[in-house]
Amino acid sequence: MTRILPLEPLTREAFAPFGEVIEAAGITPIPINYGATSRYHDLANIDCAAQGGSAIVSLFRSTPPAYPFTLKVMENHPLGTQAFMPLSGRPWLVVVAPPGWFDAGKVRAFRARGDQGVNFARGTWHHFNLTLGAASDFLVIDRSGPASEKPDDNCTEVSLEEFGLAVEAPHGA
Amino acid sequence: MTRILPLEPLTREAFAPFGEVIEAAGITPIPINYGATSRYHDLANIDCAAQGGSAIVSLFRSTPPAYPFTLKVMENHPLGTQAFMPLSGRPWLVVVAPPGWFDAGKVRAFRARGDQGVNFARGTWHHFNLTLGAASDFLVIDRSGPASEKPDDNCTEVSLEEFGLAVEAPHGA
């Protein structure tokens, strides 16, 4: 049996248990550049320095799955935050569960606008990028550890096959 | 007398003295997310940890000036890199000069595509955001220092009024 997760609007308040929403809306900007630029300052708690790590910048190009999509796996980075900012302007889906022991009953799905990014807090369970409509690029800020570190040290996965959780593309996307 | 700077195409090679170009083109990606995502890995040398600083994420919303635009000031962040990634998909202009003593004869202007970001190396002289066509948003990754630090410690400006350097919007933008 499959359960379709309801899509919640992505807001700072609703997403707070999982990290930060990166968006200008609701922030009072600082005027800089002699008035040419509004700076919406310091919107994400980048936290990538644990165990000799540092923040790196990459681009992700993600292809949308066929919807409805049954969730297969979620991942968790205990040593660093991971921020995603869409570059395509297209809406996308963010599926998360609280840090700690994985609880399939606490998985939540958010519908993000195309001008909303997120920063997953350390340890937040999250599904990989779920794009809508077309292959879409994201700027990603995450952690790179020392060469001696094993990849598994900062990436845990949990299988969702047994839970039958699915997401559906929103109407019009 | 005004001199219009020629607009050079933004390429990794041409921009190397000033920092990195953040773009997928020319990079072999790493397949992740069970094939759904291509990861273009670690494209910028984020360097914001000097003197107790760290990398922060902000949004900049910049209004284009009237073109031709006479350059008035350039700035320099000696303690940290500053990365700009366009979110609008619109092309933009990047005006830089080499680190060290400012030399107006070495100012260069690049035309960036809408899918190209840049990361200014520590000490690279750069003009503030020069957008084209409409107000445009950028994701910015730069340095925040300890509370005891003065803003001037990481931002030097030089006046360009006397040099009469200008940039023109490219045809079609």
Which chain A residue shows the shortest CA-CA distance from B60?
A: A39
Pick the closest to residue A84 from A15, A14, A13, A7 (CA basis): A15
Q: Which of B24, B29, B139 sits opposite A85 (nearest CB)?
A: B139
| Cα A11 to Cα A108, A140, B140, distances in angstroms | 13, 20, 21
DSSP symbol at B53: -
Tens-place pLDDT, residues B71-128? 989 999 999 999 999 999 999 999 999 999 999 999 999 999 999 999 999 999 999 9
Q: Which of A22, A61, A129 sits opposite B57 (nearest CB)?
A: A22
pLDDT at residue A151 tops 80: no
Tens-place pLDDT, residues B29-80? 999 999 999 999 999 999 999 999 999 999 999 999 999 999 989 999 999 9
Residue B47's CB is within 10 A of a number of other CB atoms, namely 17
Cβ–Cβ gap B22/A137 under 8 Å: no
In DSSP notation, chain A reads --EEPPEEE--HHHHTTTEEEE-STT-PPEEEGGGTEEEE---S-----GGG-EEEEEEEEEPPPPSSEE--EEEE-TT--EEEEESS---EEEEEE-SSS--GGG-EEEEE-TT-EEEEPTT-EE---EE-SS-EEEEEEEEE--TTS-GGGG-EEEE-GGG-EEE-PPTT-
Count of residues making up chain B? 173
Instruction: State the Cα–Cα distance between residues B37 and B42, nearest whole angstrom.
Output: 15
Q: Which amino acid is at A153?
A: D
pLDDT at residue A173 tops 70: no
Q: What is the pLDDT of residue B16?
A: 98
Q: What is the pLDDT of residue A153?
A: 86
ipTM of this predicted structure:
0.95
- The residue ranges of every structural domain in chain A are 3-167
Residue B102's CB is within 10 A of a number of other CB atoms, namely 18
**With respect to CATH, is domain A3-167 assigned 3.40.50.12280?**
no
Contacts of A38 in chain B (CB under 8 A): 60-62
Segment among A24-33, A147-156, B24-33, B63-72 with least mean pLDDT: A147-156
Phi and psi, residue A108, nearest 5°: -130, 145
Contacts of A117 in chain B (CB under 8 A): 139
Phi-psi region of B14 (alpha: psi -120 to 50; beta: other; left: phi over 0): alpha
Which residues are CB-neighbours of B12 under 8 A, at least 6 positions away?
B20, B21, B23, B26
Q: What is the pLDDT of residue B173?
A: 63
DSSP symbol at B35: G
> Reduced to 3 states, what is the DSSP secondary structure of residue B42?
coil
Residue A58 token pair: 């990459």
Specify whether the CB–CB gap between A116 and A22 falls below 8 A. yes
Specify whether the CB–CB gap between B81 and B48 falls below 8 A. yes
Instruction: State the Cα–Cα distance between residues A170 and B100, nearest whole angstrom.
Output: 52
